[in-house]
Amino acid sequence: METMLEIRLTANIGRGVFAKSAIPCGTLLVACEGWLAPSNALDDDWYAMQVGPDLWLCSSGDCLDECINHSCDPNAGFVTGEAVLYALRDIAAGDQIFWDYSTSLAEAGWSLECRCGSPRCRRVVRSWGELSVEERARLHPIALTFLRDPVYV
């Protein structure tokens, strides 16, 4: 699976993950790996992705999932609800892989200026609860399981 992807420098946002060959829609791209930690145990040196209300999947190295950039119109998503990214559409060789960071984050007040440049660009990436009802409905099928819970919808 990961042999079809590679980390490369992008033109404007540092490192990114790119397809080395054509990838069909529905292909498993990356199974995010690491160790689990609660919010109060996070270290600034770790890459951390929220996977539960107070649970983070952490790593500290050049893992592929650390280098996948955000897009408001992603070509990868958590279709099973687990921390595994699948191709949401056919991806051509050389295309950069993107996922929507809002589909894994419930931390209130978190935001990031968006530079994805897609026609769907929201200009600011926000946590799940700060998205519009329409955006949450659109992204619901590719969000992590804990965000699909009615408490977050």
User: What DSSP designation does 91 have?
Assistant: B
Structure tokens at 7: 């980390």
Considering the domain boundaries, does residue 94 fall inside one?
yes
Is residue 98 over pLDDT 90?
yes
Q: What pLDDT, in 10s, does the model give residues 11-30?
A: 888 899 999 999 999 999 99
Pure H helices in the chain:
133-139, 145-148
What's the rounded Cα separation, in Å, for the pair 151 and 129? 10
pLDDT band for position 62 (cuts 50, 70, 90): low
User: Would residue 83 count as lying in a domain?
Assistant: yes
The residues near 104 (Cβ < 8 Å, ≥ 6 apart) are 49, 50, 51, 78, 83, 143, 144, 147
**12 in a structural domain:** yes
CA distance 69 to 97: 7
Residue 17 lies in a domain: yes
Residues 67-95 have pLDDT tens digits of: 899 999 999 999 999 999 999 999 999 99
Flag whether 105 is in a domain: yes
Q: How far apart are CA 32 and CA 30, in angstroms?
A: 6
- Is there a domain that residue 23 lies in? yes
Range of the domain at 67: 2-148
- Is residue 102 included in any domain, yes or no? yes
Total of domains in the chain: 1
153 found inside a domain:
no
d(CA 150, CA 153): 5
CATH number of 9's domain:
2.170.270.10
Q: Which amino acid is at 115?
A: R
Mean pLDDT across the stretch 121-127? 95
pLDDT reported for residue 151: 74
